[in-house]
Every structure is written in structure tokens, then in C-alpha cells.
Amino acid sequence: MTTWSSIVLLLGFCLVAAEAAAPWWQTASFYQIYPRSFKDSDGDGIGDLNGVTEKLEYLKEISVTATWLSPFLKSPMADFGYDISDFKAVDPLFGTMEDFENMVARAKQLNVKIILDFVPNHSSDECDWFVRSAAGEEKYKDYYIWHPGFVENGVRRPPTNWVSVFRGSAWEWHEGRQEYYLHQFHKKQPDFNFRNPVVREEMNDVLRFWLEKGVDGFRVDAIYHAFEIEADENGNYPDEPRNDWTDDPDEYGYTHKIYTVDQPETPHLVYEWREILEQFQRDHGGDERILMVETWSPIEIVMHYYGNETAEGAQIPFNFQLISNLYYDSDAYHYEYLINNWLSLMPSGKSANWVIGNHDKNRVGSRFGADRVDLFNILLLTLPGCSITYQGEELGMLDAYISWADTVDPQACNGYEENYMSNSRDPARSPMHWTDGKFSGFTSGDSTWLPVAQDYATRNVQKERGVALSHLNVFKRLQQLRQEPAVQQGDAEVKAVSGYVLAVRRYLSGEYVYVSLFNIFGYIENVNLNDVFSGLPSTFQYALVTGKSIKQLGDQVSASSVTLMPYESVVLRSTTTV
């Protein structure tokens, strides 16, 4: 006869099974490596794959689940690897295919997953496919977007007024083919024609190739550019409407982007790629392979990348709300809105992700102030879902000063010296700070591809390991707290206490309650948690403190009165379970 005890036991087994089946990526800590700047193993001043392999144990030290590697494939380096000439070869600058295979093998030993940067929107103009397309070879002639342009008063002009992200016309004349080709980025980065099914299959084959090599997923670059509006019956494209905030026709913002980004076909491309990953899973087993997609699109469009009623999309469509819409002087209500807006718009059954920095944006401490470094690390690692951390943010690295003479980023070099700093991505790409030694321990050579930031002697791994409340050690303590059941699996409530203080509650039945508090500005604040959240235990203890704190780990505090020092962020844990 069935007994209540057996039912309870069965339910317990079911809960354990469900918990064990949670996807590995759902609450993962991702870490972006920009290989050129991570670690140089051969003294040429440029980071490489062997350098990454050498430092994989550091990723374990800071409890990283998976690392996304920016491009290291064969490239002329017009855009530092995002202009790929061979999608199935390692560029000699970074090493060999054997070096890659050794890196993957070591990562698997350490249980660190490898995510490859997949760049499908364009290739290099030195890619064999483009060379053959430009030559008019039948198979390849429509691999890219070509158009003869128009002749007016004896002068040939581009097909449209479309503008490149890197300034100037998005069309470049090819003397050999006697036509223009489209490049939404650098002129050496011609855009693929994804309306051509052969191109789609070429890209599908690239995914399969690297899956066979052992990668655990892909970060998909610039996906929202993949399709342009379809040409009309005469093969022509429409001009985009003008924006009124600039009169510079070479400025990317000169036109309103309604034909060159966010076309309705684009999410379906991601759905196709997800099916390729799932088929590989069915054929080969192992952990789930994932897609992370980069799209700087309106949030309603981003949500389509999760999938639709009939197809699964990306597990992680990057959430750029904090990067794009949060500012130095944003108050707690703004933080609350951006976080809750994502959570409320996210399709049922999907998982959140949080990004605050990457290789294309100024460093967090430079955008929001060095006093807020711990604040953002704590926020990313205590919100529900997965986090993506850019290399060095765990140290509080700041933008390096890069002179105009040393600037190499085409986004800046294609502009003017007087405003290059506002366009350059180089300051956030300076070499990683490992030690206080020569060139921050990045290289044994005599130079670095970009200058090392001047403050490397005080912000480096070696030094911060030895300082109890350094950014690095706060980050490591955070990663420990992230393993707590309430933080891993629990519900979340995000509220602004006032314009100055944000609060995040994480809770799960039968577990301790965790409350993260963020004092965004430079004033002392006092918080009554009972005015913010209902049903809280009466007493908490400090589970995480920072260098801004006057309290110590383990100190107890009443829920009715928590004092925060200027710019202080803390994590509190209830002294009883709920």
C-alpha cells in the first residue's frame, strides 16, 4: 500500500532529479577573454592561445564556468580578428590548431568550457570566397551583396546612402568586378548574402567544424546586421531616412537604421543554428552546447532571439540594457526599471543574463567610477541567471590611456584626432594586469601591441590576491555565495529603496534569505529592509563586505536598520531559514 512517507520520498527524488537536470549555463559565470591582451607566451607582445592555456587555472581560481574567446582565426587583422579570411584555421599570430586543441583539452581537464566567437555577418576581403565572388565565379558570385551603383552626370555613385559603423559609405567599389560590395563595418569586411542558401550552409558547416573540435558553444557576433532589406524586382535597395542630430554624412548615425539591421528574417537564422547544435548533441551526447548572440537591438526585438512557438533560439541573447541605458548619474529607480523590465519581458521558461562590460565598451570603473567596481560585480553575480564578465573587471581595471599615435582601432582611426578617444575601443583592450613587473607580467618581450595601463602596479592579480578586500577577493567570495541554493535556484525581487539605494532579495523555501544592497552614491544611507520586502527574518549577518565597509564578515545586523557607507555594497544572509 502506498504510504505518505513513500510519496514524500518520491517527491524528494523528483526534486533532486529536476535540480540535477538544470542546464549548466543557466547560472554560469562566463568570462570574456580578448586573446591579444590576455597573456603572451612567446614574447612578441601579442597574447596567444598558449597564453590562454597557461592561465586557465586562474579561471578556476575565480570560479569561472566558461570562457568566451574573441576571434583568433586566420585574419589580415584589419579589425583585429573580426575580419576572417579562413573560418577553419588558427591565425599564426595566436598559434596553431594543435595549440587550440591543447587549450581545449586542458580546459576540459579543469572543467572550464570554451565558447568560440563566431563572426557570420562578414568575412575578410582576403577570404577565398570573396576573391572568387569578386572574380564572378558562378558558385561564389552571390556569396556577398553586390550592386553596380548608379551613374549620374557621368559620375558613378553607391547604390544607397547606407553608412558603415566605421564611418563613410557602406559600399566599396571593386575595380575587378566593376561593382560595389556592401560592408557594414570596415571596407575589408564585406557582408555575406544570407539570402543565398549556399552561404547559410557554409556557415552551418563552420559551426559543425568547431563543434567537432570540442567547443561548448558560440558567441555570435553582430547578428542584427546579418540581413538587409531584400532588393526590389530591379535589384535595387532603398535609401534609409535621415536623422536630424548630425549633418555629417560619414557619421554612422546620419541615417535611421531601418533597412540594414533588425530585419525580420534574422532571428530565424539563429533558430537554424540552434537546431545544428541540438543535432550535434543528439549525435554526440555530452553537455548542452549553447549560443550567445550579440544584438544591440530594442529589447522587444532581442526577446525574439530566445525562440518562438515552434523553434528554440539562443540560450543567451545578450542583455545589453545595463551597458546601453545606465549612466554615471542613474539613480536606483533606473537600475530597478532596467533589471525588472528584462525579467518581465523575457519569455516564460527562459533564463536571464547580465552584461556590464566587454571589449567594445569603456571599462566599468571608467564609465561608472572606480568606487563602483565592486557594486557592479556584486550586482551581476547576485541577480538571477548567468553573468558575463570581461577580463580584468574582477580586478577593477580601468581604461588605459592610448595616445593618438598608439591608437590602432579602426573605429577611431577612421575618424579625426580631435575626438578619437570617444570612438576608440583600445583603452578597454589594453593588456591584462598579472603582476607589478615589467609590462604587468603580460609578456616577456620588449613591447606590447597596446600600451599597458599606467596603474598596473596597484591593480593586478598578484597584488590583489594578498589584499583581503581587494576587488579580486570580493569577486572570489561572490562566486562562493553564488553556489548557495537561494542564489542558484531561488526567486528574485529587485527594488529601489530610494533614489540612492538598490536592493535585491534572493529566496528559496527552506533556505537562507540573501539581500544585496547597493549604495549608488557618495552619501551614508540607512535602510529598513522591512519597508522594502515583506516577511523577512528579523536578523541578518554580513555574508560579503567590501573595502568600503566598516562591518566585518559575520557581523549581525537588524533587518530594521542597515547602514551603508558611501558607495558601499554588501550581501546579507538571514540568520534563520524561511
Query: Which candidate in 83, 125, 221, 393 is catalytic?
Result: 221
Q: How far is CA 215 from CA 102, 104, 208, 319, in A?
A: 12, 7, 10, 23
Using pLDDT thresholds of 50, 70 and 90, give the confidence band for residue 275: very high
DSSP H helices, 115-170, are 128-134
Burial grade of 554 (CB within 10 A; 0-12, 13-18, 19 or more): exposed
Residue type, 88: K
Cell of 44: 612578441
Whole-angstrom distance, CA of residue 553 vs CA of residue 556: 9
Residue type, 438: K
Residue pair 388/353 in contact (Cβ under 8 Å)? The answer is yes
Residue pair 49/72 in contact (Cβ under 8 Å)? The answer is yes
Residue type, 162: W
- Give the percent of the chain with pLDDT over 70: 96
Single out the residue in 475, 502, 533 at which a domain terminates: 475
Provide mean pLDDT across the span 299-318.
98
Residues 462 and 337 in one domain: yes
Query: Is 12 among the domain residues?
Result: no
Closest CA to 329 of 521, 548, 523: 521
In DSSP notation, 18-52 reads HHHTS-TTTT-EEEEE-GGGT--SSSSSS--HHHH
Note the pLDDT of residue 20.
Answer: 55
β strands within 145-289, DSSP E: 146-147, 150-152, 155-157, 171-174, 179-182, 217-220
Residues 452 and 494 in one domain: no
> How many CB atoms neighbour CB 107 within 10 A?
22
Work out the mean pLDDT of the chain and round it to a whole number: 96
Residue type, 45: G
Residue 370 has pLDDT above 70, yes or no: yes
Residues 77 and 91 in one domain: yes
Query: Is 322 among the domain residues?
Result: yes
Provide mean pLDDT across the span 303-327.
97
Range of the domain at 551: 486-577
Residues 138 and 167 in one domain: yes
Provide mean pLDDT across the span 338-352.
98
Provide mean pLDDT across the span 367-380.
98
The end-to-end CA distance of the chain, in Å, is 33
Residues 370 and 251 in one domain: yes
Query: Which residues share a beta bridge with 328?
Result: none
In DSSP notation, 378-437 reads HHHHHSSSEEEEETTGGGT--PPP--TTT---HHHHTS-GGGHHHH--GGGGSPP---SS
Using pLDDT thresholds of 50, 70 and 90, give the confidence band for residue 151: very high
Closest CA to 250 of 171, 156, 169: 169
Whole-angstrom distance, CA of residue 573 vs CA of residue 554: 9
Distance of CA 327 to the CA centre of its chain: 18
Whole-angstrom distance, CA of residue 301 vs CA of residue 207: 24
Whole-angstrom distance, CA of residue 331 vs CA of residue 51: 40
In DSSP notation, 210-229 reads HHHTT--EEEETTGGGS--P
Whole-angstrom distance, CA of residue 434 vs CA of residue 464: 10
Residues 43 and 173 in one domain: no
Backbone angles phi, psi at 254, to 5 degrees: -60, -30
Note the pLDDT of residue 213.
Answer: 98
Whole-angstrom distance, CA of residue 464 vs CA of residue 401: 22
Q: How far is CA 450 from CA 45, 281, 425, in A?
A: 9, 40, 11
Whole-angstrom distance, CA of residue 19 vs CA of residue 510: 15
CA contacts within 13 A on the Cβ side of 44: 11
> How many CB atoms neighbour CB 62 within 10 A?
18
Residues 363 and 265 in one domain: yes
Whole-angstrom distance, CA of residue 474 vs CA of residue 42: 32
Query: Which residues share a beta bridge with 169?
Result: 163
Closest CA to 570 of 578, 554, 560: 554
Residue 335 has pLDDT above 60, yes or no: yes
Structural domain tally of the chain? 3
Query: Is 465 among the domain residues?
Result: yes
pLDDT tens digits for 23-67? Answer: 999 999 999 999 999 999 999 999 999 999 999 999 999 999 999
Residues 352 and 453 in one domain: yes
Query: Is 10 among the domain residues?
Result: no
Whole-angstrom distance, CA of residue 314 vs CA of residue 295: 11
* Domain at 518, CATH number: 2.60.40.1180
* Domain at 274, CATH number: 3.20.20.80
Residue bearing cell 595601463:
453
Note the pLDDT of residue 17.
Answer: 46
Kindly report the pTM of this predicted structure.
0.95
Residues 492 and 467 in one domain: no
* Annotation marks residue 86 as catalytic: no
Residues 133 and 108 in one domain: no
* Annotation marks residue 99 as catalytic: no
Backbone angles phi, psi at 381, to 5 degrees: -95, -5
Whole-angstrom distance, CA of residue 297 vs CA of residue 100: 33
Query: Is 453 among the domain residues?
Result: yes
Closest CA to 95 of 138, 14, 39: 39
* Domain at 162, CATH number: 3.90.400.10
Single out the residue in 475, 501, 518 at which a domain terminates: 475
Provide mean pLDDT across the span 193-204.
98
Provide mean pLDDT across the span 10-14.
47
Closest CA to 71 of 42, 111, 100: 100
Query: Which candidate in 91, 99, 117, 294 is catalytic?
Result: 294
Residues 437 and 554 in one domain: no
β-bridge pairing 86-90 and 491-496: unpaired
CA angle 474, 400, 317 (to 5 degrees): 60
pLDDT tens digits for 209-260? Answer: 999 999 999 999 999 999 999 999 999 999 999 999 999 999 999 999 999 9
> How many CB atoms neighbour CB 276 within 10 A?
17
Residue pair 119/84 in contact (Cβ under 8 Å)? The answer is yes
pLDDT tens digits for 502-542? Answer: 999 999 999 999 999 999 999 999 999 999 999 999 999 99
Helix (H, G, I), strand (E, B) or coil at 90: strand
Residue 365 has pLDDT above 60, yes or no: yes
Query: Is 80 among the domain residues?
Result: yes
Distance of CA 249 to the CA centre of its chain: 30
Note the pLDDT of residue 172.
Answer: 98
Whole-angstrom distance, CA of residue 569 vs CA of residue 550: 11
Residues 94 and 140 in one domain: no
Single out the residue in 475, 510, 541 at which a domain terminates: 475
Query: Is 4 among the domain residues?
Result: no
pLDDT tens digits for 476-497? Answer: 999 999 999 999 999 999 999 9
Closest CA to 321 of 338, 344, 302: 338
Query: Is 16 among the domain residues?
Result: no
- Neighbouring residues of 492: CB distance < 8 A, sequence distance ≥ 6: 343, 383, 384, 504, 505, 506
